[in-house]
Chain A
Amino acid sequence: MTKRLLARIIHRLQLRESWIIFFILGIIMMTFPFMNIFNKPVMLFGFPLMFLYLTIGWAFSIFIIYIFMRSFSSLNQNGDENKD
């Protein structure tokens, strides 16, 4: 149910365009301004802030790829392929 919902949301997002946007977003998150926000020696829930940011951000990006690949493959199965 949730998977179908997610797949539908991503379908709405115009796969290819949002794919590129997520990629660029990932790079932006890894560069100076964003990094600077978390570049503080503080602890959050007993974890260093930067450690938490990078770990969660990383896990999230992997999750994004996973969701995208799932909906890509379901698209491919439906026949309207959208690959390069």
Chain B
Amino acid sequence: MNTGIVYAASISALYTALIFLIAWYAHYRKETGRSIVSNPVVYSLSIAVYCTSWTFYGSVGKASTTGIDFLMIYLGPSLAAFTWLFLLRRIIKISKDNNITSIADFISLRYGKSLWLGALVTIIAILGIMPYIALQIKAVSHSFYMVSGMRAENIQLTTLGSDVKLPAGLILAIILSIFSIIFGARRLQSSERHEGLIAAVAFESLIKLVSLIGVGIFVTYYLFDGFTDIFARFKAMDPAAFNRLFTFDASGSNPEYIPTFTMLFLSMGAIMLLPRQFHVMVIENSDERHVSTAMWLFPVYLFLINIFVMPIALGGILTTGSNNGADFFVLSLPLVTGHNEVALLAFLGGLSAAAGMVMVESVAISTMLLNHIFMPVIVRFTPRIWFPLLLINLKRFGIFLVVMLGFFYNQAVGDTYMLVNMGLISFSAAAQFLPAMLGGLYWRRGNKSGAIGGILSGFVIWFYTLLLPSFSKSGWLPTELLTEGPFGVELLKPTALFGLSGMDLWSQSLFWSMLFNISTYIICSIMLQQTDKEREQVAKFIAIFERTRSQRHTEEKRLSKPVTTSQFVALMTKFIGGAEAQNAFNQYAGNREINQEGTISEFDLPNLKRHVEKTLAGSVGAAAAGAIVDSFLSDMGSRMESVYDIYSTVRTSLDQSRESLFVRLKASEIINRTLDLQIIMDDLLVLLLTEFKLEIAIIQLKNEDGSYSVTSYQGANRKPINENHWYSECEPYFDMVYHDSEAHFTNDARLASSSLPLDLTLAEDIISFAHIPISREGEQAIGILSVYSKSIAGLFTKEFITLLTSLSGQLAQAITIVREMHEKDLERDQKEQALLQNARVLRDMEIAQQIQVSLLPDCAPDLFGIDLAGKCVSAAHVGGDYYDFFKRNENTVDVLIADVSGHSVGAALIMSEVRTLLRAQVNSAHSASAILNILNSQLHDDLTRAELFITMFYAKYNSASGRLSYSNAGHNHPIIHRTGSNTCIELDTEGLILGVKTSVVFEERSIELVSGDVLLFYTDGLTESFNASGEMFGNSRVCAQLGTVAHLSAEEIIDSIYDAVIDFTGSKKFQDDISLVLLKIL
């Protein structure tokens, strides 16, 4: 019973067209930004690519031959789903961070982007997957025969004129390859998700589920009467078979029987490690959160697709009478019972299962093939403009190759194995990745040699114990190999290696391969060292979640020769095309500062390099990308070199901060120990020289005039500092440092010398140097710290410069403080000097005052009939007021009062000169005017020279006559108060002040005084005293005061006048000298 070839072929074609439509629609939706693929259900369905024709046809076959243990293949992944919570999410995160393209890429990246490891994983994957693809081709071509009713193995094409016989399997293989190329290799970028492919796969998963459940329901409820009916009928028909199928065979009597543990283990590994599983679960994952849903939805899918397997298997045996051809019960049951529609549904389900698997698998493997086999060869050639085209076609070729290998394996081995057992060969191959994968994710020590050694030894054992026997069984290799061992050595028999007999092929292979794989991995990892590259990756893989918490990252590599950004872009263009290269660069540049020339800071270069590698990795895989960039750099004459560890101890970021703390601590100790700047600077430089690999260190400080001079110079072979010294070559650097207050450095002076003559410096063997501004935060630099290394290029890392800058800041603080203290000291000294000076002057003035006071008459002469008193109160220490009395004889007394302008010492000296001159005239009998005349002529020159002048009132009183004759040289008019009179008389004569003209005529007048008259001589200080409101004391107040106190003695009157002035001004301090002489006629 069949449907005919045309019908089957056209249904297949229609179905294919539908798949295309769905894929195209998914792609279209993605382009318009509304993805239908990016959701957890589609993700779970795409993981169900795990269920291939093996599940669709093979499970029933297995169930009807060995029984319920077929379930182990699905229980394993279901259990493994538990681990996805941490394992799969971690893998996805790492892969997304690094643009991972395949499992080979993932493993090789973990072990230092090893090219060899990537190639090894790829070869294993290709060989390992061969039986699996063969299984699909076998299943689909077989099912096609059954549905179409063809009995021949070949399709005859008569239309071409001659008879050409083509195997149906080959046509299928070609169709599947084209399918895969269209879906999976339209573009080069492999880390990009293929939404069309995934949509097709998810749809196919849906079809195969519906199809198998449909057939299950058909068998269980249409042909039979439900589960229990089938079980009961089968038990009744063949109790022995029932027992065999529903218990696990522990006796080992059945050679086809595979222990449950082996299947559980293999399937748990396969769900993560098969290249296509890795591809759909990791590479095609659009959102980490989808994993949470897939964790239960995928097991639900497995559960549903398997629930009817047992009934179909039993129903098949019940219907056909035996388990011959059990692999295709799903198809044959509807066919033999005459339900072609159901059979067609089953055929489409099987086709879906096979096509989905082959597409994803071939895309995944071809990516690996391109990136890990072709790419390492290609990168040895200089990149050309047609490279992108070559690469994409190589990838297409890879897909074709993978499918064809499967086809040939099927041709060779196809009929000797059951479907499931062919698949298990592939599972065993994938299991070889397990130790390196898990170790890579959770074991820090795991290294490249361990991974290569482990995978290689596991692979060799797998090849020898599983793949070879499969060839051998089918007759491609002599069967003696299986029965007698190679060269007759029984111990090396592939089916009983090292004499381990009594085990099935798969368990034996699994045991030996895992033993060698794991032990080699562990032993090599423990015995051998990791390289720098590996260590860098270890951190990325193992601390992936920690790293996101603390973003601290220390650069450990530098480019020995700077490369410009445009050069990087040009490199990327050659591999991924101009537009994408520019895109990738813009993405990097997005939030970074890049100046017009396209150069970026030396510290940013390693970042850019990493970005370029990551971008390229998206297309060619991490290992090849690393090789491309490395060879590009070496062409440029540059290379990545380790950043020199400035502390010469362990090179890890955490330890660095501890070391740097130590240096800072030492520096503060030095700075706080003394206030001597020279010692601080010298010690600080010595500290730098001893702690770091530096040879010379110089500190220059800015002088007040803006020039700078070397203030401290430490290091070996010091040369005298002058303009011929090599350090002056760096002057452009100094200017830059002063200009922008930022550190400037050169990590390789030999390279810098092209832009700046550094011949002398280079002659000193100096390789790298840095100039750091000595400045406080945000302030202008006050000096420069220059350090030079003769041994290490690339000494100055970001961290080191930061440290040096911080030390300079400390030094700047110290210098500023010391300088401020210095200035304060100076100022205080000056103040003290001034105070001392002042005190000395004050003392002199006091002495002068004492002398001056002593020059004034102690007491008034006694003369009958008068009461005479005089007093002088100076405002300053020394003043210009002067009064004197000369007793000529018993009846005559001369009274004079004078005021030298100013209160200076000069005035005082003039005053004493006046006194001397007057004393000389005491015994002469000159009149008052004559005396003034004499004084004027004698003092004129002195006064003119000193720019002073004198007012003077000179009076002679004769007590016998009671007459007062007087002359005035511009002095205030004395006041006479008479008893009984309210007004006062002012004594006024003509006369110019002394020292203005050489010859002056002084008028002389006389007045008769009567008893009770009070005559007051005063200086202008009295009448010109003013109070707070600016009012002068004035003559009238003096007169009034005299009136009220006229009855008192002369001295008392004087005192009362002083008191009155104090009362009037409200201040005890006089504004001007006040001298008073009082003559009272008794």
The residues of A with any CB-CB pair to B shorter than 8 Å are 19, 22-23, 26-27, 30-32, 35, 39-41, 43, 45-51, 54-55, 58-59, 61-62, 65-66, 69, 72-73, 83-84
Q: Does any Cβ of A come within 8 Å of B15's Cβ?
A: no
**What's the nearest-Cβ distance from chain B to residue A53, in Å?**
10
Chain A interface mostly: helix
Please tell me if the beta carbons of B310 and A51 are within 8 angstroms of each other in the complex.
yes
Closest to B80 in A: A23
Please tell me if the beta carbons of B82 and A26 are within 8 angstroms of each other in the complex.
yes
Give the distance in Å from the alpha carbon of A20 to the alpha carbon of B517 in the complex: 26
Please tell me if the beta carbons of B79 and A84 are within 8 angstroms of each other in the complex.
no
A23-B82, A69-B293 known; A83 vs B89 contact (CB < 8 Å): yes
Q: Does any Cβ of A come within 8 Å of B868's Cβ?
A: no
Closest to A50 in B: B246
- The 9 residue pairs across chains A and B that have the minimum distance between CB atoms: A46-B228, A84-B86, A41-B243, A48-B246, A23-B82, A66-B296, A65-B296, A62-B299, A69-B292
Q: Does any Cβ of A come within 8 Å of B295's Cβ?
A: yes
Please tell me if the beta carbons of A41 and B545 are within 8 angstroms of each other in the complex.
no
Query: CB < 8 Å: which of A30, A39, A48 contacts B75?
Result: A30
Closest to B545 in A: A84
Q: Does any Cβ of A come within 8 Å of B28's Cβ?
A: no
**Residues of chain B within 8 A of A51, CB atoms compared:** 68, 231, 246, 310
Give the distance in Å from the alpha carbon of A83 to the alpha carbon of B242 in the complex: 46
Give the distance in Å from the alpha carbon of A49 to the alpha carbon of B261 in the complex: 20
Query: CB < 8 Å: which of B75, B86, B295, B300 contacts A54?
Result: B75
Please tell me if the beta carbons of A41 and B247 are within 8 angstroms of each other in the complex.
yes
Q: Does any Cβ of A come within 8 Å of B619's Cβ?
A: no
Query: CB < 8 Å: which of B231, B239, B295 contacts A47?
Result: B231
Contact with A along B290-314 (1 / 0, CB 8 A): 0011011001100100010010000
Q: Does any Cβ of A come within 8 Å of B911's Cβ?
A: no
Give the distance in Å from the alpha carbon of A35 to the alpha carbon of B402 in the complex: 40
Q: Does any Cβ of A come within 8 Å of B248's Cβ?
A: yes
Number of B interface residues at 8 Å Cβ cutoff, please give it.
38
Give the distance in Å from the alpha carbon of A16 to the alpha carbon of B187 in the complex: 41
Q: Does any Cβ of A come within 8 Å of B9's Cβ?
A: no
**Residues of chain B within 8 A of A49, CB atoms compared:** 246
**What's the nearest-Cβ distance from chain A to residue B854, in Å?**
98
**What's the nearest-Cβ distance from chain B to residue A35, in Å?**
6
Give the distance in Å from the alpha carbon of A35 to the alpha carbon of B247 in the complex: 9
Please tell me if the beta carbons of A50 and B247 are within 8 angstroms of each other in the complex.
yes
Give the distance in Å from the alpha carbon of A83 to the alpha carbon of B289 in the complex: 11
**Residues of chain A within 8 A of B136, CB atoms compared:** none
Most chain-A CB neighbours within 10 Å: which of B90, B247, B261?
B247
Give the distance in Å from the alpha carbon of A73 to the alpha carbon of B72 in the complex: 30
B545-569 with Cβ < 8 A to chain A: 545
Closest to B294 in A: A69
Please tell me if the beta carbons of A22 and B82 are within 8 angstroms of each other in the complex.
yes
Given A47-B228, A65-B81, A69-B296; 19 other pairs, CB 8 A cutoff: A19-B85, A23-B79, A23-B83, A31-B261, A39-B247, A41-B239, A41-B243, A46-B228, A46-B231, A48-B242, A51-B68, A51-B231, A51-B246, A54-B68, A54-B75, A62-B296, A62-B299, A69-B293, A72-B85
Q: Does any Cβ of A come within 8 Å of B260's Cβ?
A: yes
**Residues of chain B within 8 A of A54, CB atoms compared:** 68, 71, 75
Q: Does any Cβ of A come within 8 Å of B235's Cβ?
A: yes
The residues of B with any CB-CB pair to A shorter than 8 Å are 68, 71-72, 75, 78-79, 81-83, 85-86, 89-90, 227-228, 231-232, 235, 239, 242-243, 246-248, 250, 260-261, 264, 292-293, 295-296, 299-300, 303, 307, 310, 545
Please tell me if the beta carbons of A58 and B78 are within 8 angstroms of each other in the complex.
yes
**Residues of chain A within 8 A of B228, CB atoms compared:** 45-47
A23-B79, A43-B231, A59-B303 known; A35 vs B292 contact (CB < 8 Å): no
**Residues of chain A within 8 A of B68, CB atoms compared:** 48, 50-51, 54
**Residues of chain A within 8 A of B90, CB atoms compared:** 84
**Residues of chain B within 8 A of A69, CB atoms compared:** 292-293, 295-296
**What's the nearest-Cβ distance from chain B to residue A39, in Å?**
5
Query: CB < 8 Å: which of A19, A50, A58 contacts B82?
Result: A19
Give the distance in Å from the alpha carbon of A61 to the alpha carbon of B81 in the complex: 10
A46-B228, A54-B68, A84-B85 known; A30 vs B79 contact (CB < 8 Å): yes
**Residues of chain A within 8 A of B295, CB atoms compared:** 65, 69
**Residues of chain A within 8 A of B264, CB atoms compared:** 27, 30
Closest to A67 in B: B296
Sample 13 A-B pairs with CB under 8 A, ordered by A number: A19-B85, A35-B248, A35-B260, A39-B247, A39-B250, A43-B231, A47-B231, A48-B231, A48-B242, A50-B248, A55-B307, A61-B79, A66-B296
Give the distance in Å from the alpha carbon of A84 to the alpha carbon of B227 in the complex: 43
Query: CB < 8 Å: which of A40, A66, A72, A73 contacts B247?
Result: A40
**What's the nearest-Cβ distance from chain A to residue B306, in Å?**
9
**What's the nearest-Cβ distance from chain A to residue B364, in Å?**
26
**Residues of chain B within 8 A of A26, CB atoms compared:** 79, 82
Please tell me if the beta carbons of A27 and B79 are within 8 angstroms of each other in the complex.
yes
Please tell me if the beta carbons of B260 and A30 are within 8 angstroms of each other in the complex.
yes
Please tell me if the beta carbons of A43 and B310 are within 8 angstroms of each other in the complex.
no
Most chain-B CB neighbours within 10 Å: which of A45, A55, A65, A69?
A65
Please tell me if the beta carbons of B232 and A46 are within 8 angstroms of each other in the complex.
yes
